[in-house]
Structure 1
């Protein structure tokens, strides 16, 4: 049996056994490669077969999920989302006040032990959510309270 088919069967078995539920995120391609000791091309072939059978669906740059498409998505937060959430909590607690500078990208890299891309993505998410604004070559600052997202 081809390796891609072994992967397809394993995912279908996990769905049938309830280990994977509708809307749940699958492992990333890299994680599947490591788990199944398969090439990325082989994993992509397995995912293609599962998509064609409407067992899963893929959202570009986000990942693959167990179908159907209308099921609420279930996935663990990514590292940049965890960092952004941690910083947002700090803002809510008052660790960083309006117009106060957040830690620099280098400080975030050191504090969280992450890559530059991850630190950048965390700050971009905070900006997108309305917690912060960035002044190029100066820094990233907390927005005024009236611009914060709705907090419950």
Structure 2
């Protein structure tokens, strides 16, 4: 339980709770994402990020960009590497939804904020996925309007 009126910053209180949780976990075990911490404790993303930072600085956890945060040190923690980077997996998922007709040509796809919530990843991961989809021809972006599904004739050939 967080003490909102106490003299200890919320991020330090959350870091201490997380420190106790990860103490019993083996190296390489995933740690809750910033979005998970934000939802569980009802705090701002910055507060969750600062709590993670405290544990990272203490050497209890480490982060791999695009994959997540894990218990231990990167060189000592055995973890299963992803077959493909997370942003590529997200792009593949969205492309599959386009092919399945869930998103129609010349119609908008969910915005960055909606995708952040759906996939619970960092903003940069979503941006890389969107860039890949644009590069492949699945989507196009209209300034100040958003991203849209490309016409079917622009889709990549399987």
TM-score, normalising length from structure 1? Answer: 0.50
1:87 maps to 2:95: yes
2:33 to 20, 27, 30: 27
Distance 1:23 1:61, change over 3 A: same
Unpaired runs of 5+ residues, structure 1, are: 96-101, 146-152
1:51 corresponding residue in structure 2: 56
Distance 1:90 1:49, change over 3 A: closer
1:36 maps to 2:41: yes
1:98 corresponding residue in structure 2: none
> Contact 2:31/2:70 (CA < 8 Å) preserved in 1?
yes
Measure, in 1, the Cα distance between the counterparts of 2:31 and 2:69: 6
1:80-129 CA-to-partner distances (Å, cap 9, x unmatched) read 845623635987xxx7xxxxxx953625x2xxxx326749765544577x
Measure, in 2, the Cα distance between the counterparts of 1:74 and 1:11: 24
Higher mean C-alpha deviation, range 30-39 or range 133-142: 133-142
1:16 maps to 2:23: yes
TM-score, normalising length from structure 2? Answer: 0.49
2:11 corresponding residue in structure 1: 4
Measure, in 2, the Cα distance between the counterparts of 1:86 and 1:135: 10
Measure, in 2, the Cα distance between the counterparts of 1:60 and 1:46: 17
- In the TM superposition, residue 50 of structure 1 has moved relative to its aligned partner by 0.8
Unpaired runs of 5+ residues, structure 2, are: 1-6, 116-125, 142-149
Q: What is the number of equivalent residue pairs in this alignment?
A: 125
2:156 corresponding residue in structure 1: 142
